[in-house]
Amino acid sequence: MMKVLMFSGDPSISEAGSPAWKRTDEYAKALEKLEVIKFDRRDGRFMRFWKGYKDAKEILSIEKFDLITAQEIEHSFIAWRLSKKFDIPWQMQI
C-alpha cells in the first residue's frame, strides 16, 4: 500500500457526490493513505501557493509519504520542490 500526497486545484473535490470527489474517494480506497492539499482560488495566487506549500511541508515533516502528485502544471513546482526536500518521488498528472 502507498501513501500519496496530492495537490489539487479542483474546487469540486470537496463536494460530496461530484465526479472529482468520487474519483478521489476511489483513489483513497485503493491507497493506504491519500492526503489532499487543496488550492483555493479565493485565497489569491500567491497565498494559495504559500499556504499549500506550508501545509504540505508540515504534513511531510510529520509523516513519510511514498509519492507526491500534482494535478495542474502550476502545482508541479511545489511538488518537485518538496520531492527534493523530502526525497520522495513525484509525478505530474497530465
pLDDT of residue 69: 96
pLDDT of residue 73: 85
Give the highest mean pLDDT range of 9-13, 18-22, 40-44: 18-22
Q: Is the pLDDT of residue 18 over 80?
A: yes
For 31-88, the pLDDT digits (tens) are 999 999 998 888 888 899 999 999 999 999 999 999 999 988 889 999 999 999 999 9
CA distance 13 to 18: 7
Sheet of 33-38, strand order = 33-38, 3-8, 67-70, 90-92
pLDDT of residue 70: 94
pLDDT of residue 72: 87
pLDDT of residue 79: 95
Architecture of domain 3-92: 3-Layer(aba) Sandwich (3.40)
Angle at 13 between CA 10 and CA 14, to 5 degrees: 125
What is the SS3 assignment for 67?
strand
